[in-house]
Copies of this chain bind each other. A is one copy, B any other.
Amino acid sequence: MKKKITTLKEIAKQLNLSISTVSRALNDHPDISESTKEKVKRLANDLSYVPNIFAKGFRSHKSNIIGVIVPSITHYFTATILKGILDEAAIKGYRVIISESDNDISKQTEMLKTMMQFGVDGILMSLTKRTRNIENIIKTMDTVPLILFDKVSNKIPCTQIVINEEEAAFDAVEHLINIGKKRIAIIKESEYSYNSEKRYTGYLRALNEHNIAIDEKIILSVEDITLKQGRRMTNILLSLKNRPDAVFAITDSAAIGVVQALKKFKIKIPEDIAVVGFSNSIHSTIIEPMLTTIDQPGERIGSTAIKYLIEEIDNPNEFTGIKTVEIKSNLIIRDSTFSS
């Protein structure tokens, strides 16, 4: 039992007005008298008129829809970013179409294409691992504005919203140094990743500035930075003659794996070996000891990203320049580095 949808024509007929007058009345056009406006608006309300979005977008070439592509929606940090995007979008009157690339490059390409077909006004994207074929991304960019966040690439000439990765990692490692640690291991990603690379340079810089020698033996790289890999790497570290006295894992889940492995071997945290993660996931407060980590303000990243995007959408011709916007994160010190 579909309800009959009311159109401008219907309202016009009932009020003996022209369609254009009704349209203008609803849009508060100055040419229309107050009395007419009121009549029109009242009837529109009574008939629960909703403007046909297609007819509107059809004319204006504007959908007020923004496309978002993320690797994994179930990842907590990603979800907080999405929340930031959704909230800001609601305020600015945009709808958001979300797609998951599942860390699959071909899916990502496919999605970019269908986003275009659906006439989105702009695209926010966080890249899959090992994103190779940049061409189609760049190609879409001359049809519709695109902004990257979190997992970015400086090979793509567009505005990018990121955490101050290097500085954050620097802070984390310096914190370890400050509590007296001298032999600090790192677990990072082996494949190239913007985030991993930045954190790694932050690690190196901290060691350098504090005149601590760099030891390749305690610089470990893994393909997938997971909990399981964290455990595996810890076993490797513990088998060394010269064990580290701290571990900086580039990710909370890896850090949790480290903690679990250390506990298994009854190694005291943080006295014997301190652990720092990255992300401030919820898990970091559930594991014992609670994890020292970097809090990334996901919502701010999301809202910032969409703000810049809408800016570009509203001013399509003026070249606003490619910015890399860094959102400040901050170190949260908990029991895994601090014994009370």
A residues whose Cβ falls under 8 Å from a Cβ of B: 1-3, 5, 50-55, 57-58, 61, 63-65, 72-74, 76, 79-80, 82-83, 86-87, 90, 95-100, 111, 114, 116-119, 142-143, 256, 282-283, 286-288, 316
Contacts and interface: CB of A to CB of B under 8 A. Distances in A.
Q: Say whether chain A's binding surface is mostly helix, strand, loop, or mixed.
A: mixed
Contacts of A63: 53-54
Contact of A80 (B74, B87, B99): B74
List 8 tightest A-B contacts by C-beta distance, closest first.
A54-B58, A54-B57, A74-B79, A53-B119, A95-B97, A58-B58, A54-B54, A50-B117
Contact of A52 (B58, B65, B74): B58
20 contacts: A50-B116, A53-B117, A54-B54, A54-B55, A54-B57, A54-B61, A54-B63, A64-B118, A65-B97, A73-B83, A74-B76, A74-B79, A74-B82, A74-B83, A76-B76, A95-B97, A95-B114, A96-B98, A97-B97, A97-B98
Given A283-B282, A283-B283, A86 B58 contact: no
Contacts of A286: 256, 283, 286-287
Residue with the greatest number of chain B CB neighbours at <10 A, chosen from A54, A72, A143: A54
A203 to B, nearest CB: 25
Given A54-B55, A73-B79, A95-B118, 18 more contacts: A2-B142, A50-B116, A52-B58, A54-B54, A54-B57, A55-B58, A72-B83, A73-B83, A73-B86, A74-B80, A76-B76, A79-B79, A86-B99, A86-B100, A90-B99, A95-B97, A95-B99, A283-B286
A310 B167 CA distance: 48
Contacts of A53: 63, 117-119
Contacts of A117: 50-51, 53
A197 to B, nearest CB: 27
Nearest to A263: B288
Nearest to A281: B282
A287 B54 CA distance: 50
A99 B82 CA distance: 10
B73 A82 contact: yes
A3 B50 contact: no
Contact of A143 (B2, B90, B97): B2
B282 A142 contact: no
A73 B85 CA distance: 11
Nearest to A316: B2
A50 B76 CA distance: 35
A67 B318 CA distance: 34
A256 B287 CA distance: 11
Contacts of A97: 65, 95-98
B54 A119 contact: yes
A80 B83 CA distance: 15
A277 to B, nearest CB: 12
B100 A98 contact: no
